[in-house]
A = this chain, B = another copy of it.
Amino acid sequence: MKDSLNKKGLKATPQRMEIIKYLNSTKSHPSAEEVYVYIKDKFPTVSFATVYNTLQTLKNTGDLKELSIDPDRKRFDRDLTPHNHFFCKICKKIYDIPNINEKVNIDALNDHLVEDYSIYYTGICKDCKKMNKEE
């Protein structure tokens, strides 16, 4: 991990390493704050700026994707393979949805340069559905 950072001209600081380790380990599609809370536990002096800087840097090197499926905050995803997302409007969880090589409307897009695409599903996730019933 250190080498791969250095190769890109980035310094492998302990904070940065820890953030990357966290992003690698979680499937929660964390927000900047979620990352901050986690890192703060290991580096009590860490600041929001460092978290935002690091997320920005990783986004720029293409090692991290920024999701805008959550209307209230940016969410991040280290899984760079093509897949889709379901967003629960109750608990705000983001679920990965495998893609099934969807047909894409190439004709309508011919003139635009498409760098990325995915299906955004929204609704109520299975856990929240269950809770609503129980109440």
Asked whether, in the complex, the Cβ of B108 is within 8 Å of the Cβ of A97, the reply is yes
A88 to B116, CA, bound (A): 11
| Interface mask (A113-125 → B, CB under 8 Å = 1, otherwise 0) | 1111111111111
Asked whether, in the complex, the Cβ of A117 is within 8 Å of the Cβ of B120, the reply is yes
- Judge if A11 is at the interface, Cβ distance under 8 Å: no
Chain A residues near B (Cβ < 8 Å) = 66, 68-71, 74, 84, 86, 88-89, 95, 97-100, 102-105, 108-109, 111-126, 129
Q: A68-B69, A117-B119, A118-B120 are in contact. List 8 more A-B contacts (CB 8 A).
A: A71-B74, A97-B105, A99-B105, A102-B104, A109-B121, A111-B129, A112-B124, A115-B122
